[in-house]
Structure 1
Amino acid sequence: MAWLAGSGRSDAVAFLSRVVRLDPGAVARLRPGGEGAVTLWSRLPWGVLVSRALPATVPGDRTFSARDLLASVDGELPASRDTDWHWSLPAGAGEVVERIPAADVARIGEAAERTVRAAAAEGIGGRPVGSRMLRDALLDHVPITVTTEGDMRVPISQRLVQAVVRMGFTAGAPGDLVDVRILGPWTALACAYGSAWHRGDGSRLIG
């Protein structure tokens, strides 16, 4: 018997296909989130957790090869790999501190990708730059900072932006918004088709 309800198949395929494309050896975790619902989690190579809710029934909190889970969407769950999950998860949905137009998030992510491609091809100031250095510089850049009502500044790094863009989480309709959420040391971008979470050092900027 298939573990997925019919309406969740395309969502699971979209999520897992992108995860496997970014990391062929990735694992994916199915965590029950209420009657007839689970949250599908995975970790991207640059240290960001991504998640998507699905209509499904699973026997407890289980981890699998993302590639094997993708192959099983029309059938039974594959062999579990619970010992391969090594990361904590946020303990809740967090607090929404800002809403950003999804089009702005997508534009920032796409502009960063164009910049990296140009720098890789042409160098910076006429000097060649290694792909690893370019990637690290991209991911550590903070293109968005939001300020809460308590004057706390929350930096949104390209790690999160690239996660939601490359996972296809942002919707394309005009007026769609992305929620910025915080929960302890975690910062998230919650989009129409999934969420991305990154755990920092727990510090925030005040004033």
Structure 2
Amino acid sequence: MAWLADSGRSDAVAFLARVARLDPGAVARLRPAGEGAVTLWSRLPWGVLVCRALPATVGSDRTVAAAELLASVDGDLPASRDTDWRWSLPAVPGTTVERIPAADVVRVGEAAARTVRTAAAEGVGGRAVGSRMLRDALLDHVPITVTTDGGADIPVSQRLVQAVVRMGFTGSGPRDFVDVRISGPWTALACAYGSAWHRGGGSTLIG
């Protein structure tokens, strides 16, 4: 029996294909989200959790290999790998702090990628820079900061920006927006086609 409704097939394929391309060994967690709905979660290699809601039915919370799930979107769920999910999850949907035009988020992400390519090719200040150093510097940079009603500053790092851009979550139209959300220690970018979550100040590992 198929676990996924026909109307969610293209969304599931897009999500899982991007996750598997970024990390061939990634796992995906299917979490029931009400009658006829499942939230699909995965973790990107730079420590960001991504999710998308789908019209689907699963008997219980379950983790499987992302690549195997991609191959079985029209059939049964693959073998369980629940012990391979080692990360806590935020309480969703969280509280919206700010709304940003999607085009601005995409522009920030693309500009960062161009900077890294230039630095990798030409160096920084005339000196060569390692690819890992470039990647870490990019991901830790905070290009967006929003302020809550209470006056607290919420930093949005390139980890989140790169996650939503590379997962294809942002829309491209003038009416597409990205919500900055918070939930406890977590910060999210919630887009038209999915959300990315990052936990500040520590590891996402359970326990």
TM-score w.r.t. structure 1 length? 0.96
- 1:159 paired with 2:159, answer yes
Matches within 5 A, 1:9-28: 9-28=9-28
Aligned twin of 1:184: 184
Aligned twin of 1:106: 106
1:91 Cα deviation from its structure 2 partner: 1.8
Partner of 1:139: helix, strand, or coil?
helix
User: What is the identity, as a one-letter code, of the residue corresponding to 1:175?
Assistant: R
Deviations 1:22-70 (A, max 9, x none): 0000000000000000000000000000000000001100000000000
User: What is the identity, as a one-letter code, of the residue corresponding to 2:150?
Assistant: G
User: What is the identity, as a one-letter code, of the residue corresponding to 1:118?
Assistant: T
CA distance in 2 between partners of 1:17 and 1:32 (Å): 21
User: What is the identity, as a one-letter code, of the residue corresponding to 1:69?
Assistant: L
1:149 Cα deviation from its structure 2 partner: 1.6
CA distance in 2 between partners of 1:13 and 1:100 (Å): 27
CA distance in 2 between partners of 1:37 and 1:171 (Å): 22
1:125 Cα deviation from its structure 2 partner: 1.2
Aligned twin of 1:198: 198
Aligned twin of 1:90: 90
Matches within 5 A, 1:42-121: 42-121=42-121
User: What is the identity, as a one-letter code, of the residue corresponding to 1:26?
Assistant: A
Give structure 1 regions of 4+ aligned residues with deviation exceeding 2 angstroms.
none
Unaligned runs of 5+ in 1: 203-207
1:201 Cα deviation from its structure 2 partner: 2.0
Partner of 1:106: helix, strand, or coil?
helix
- 1:39 paired with 2:34, answer no
RMSD across aligned C-alpha pairs, in angstroms? 0.8
User: What is the identity, as a one-letter code, of the residue corresponding to 1:156?
Assistant: V
User: What is the identity, as a one-letter code, of the residue corresponding to 1:36?
Assistant: G
Identity over aligned pairs, percent: 82
Aligned twin of 2:169: 169
CA distance in 2 between partners of 1:149 and 1:142 (Å): 20
Unaligned runs of 5+ in 2: 203-207
Q: Would you say how many aligned residue pairs link Structure 1 and Structure 2? A: 202
1:92 Cα deviation from its structure 2 partner: 2.4
- 1:138 paired with 2:138, answer yes
1:126 Cα deviation from its structure 2 partner: 1.3
User: What is the identity, as a one-letter code, of the residue corresponding to 1:45?
Assistant: P
Aligned twin of 2:205: none
User: What is the identity, as a one-letter code, of the residue corresponding to 2:42?
Assistant: S
1:175 Cα deviation from its structure 2 partner: 2.1
User: What is the identity, as a one-letter code, of the residue corresponding to 1:197?
Assistant: W
CA distance in 2 between partners of 1:65 and 1:41 (Å): 11
1:150 Cα deviation from its structure 2 partner: 1.3
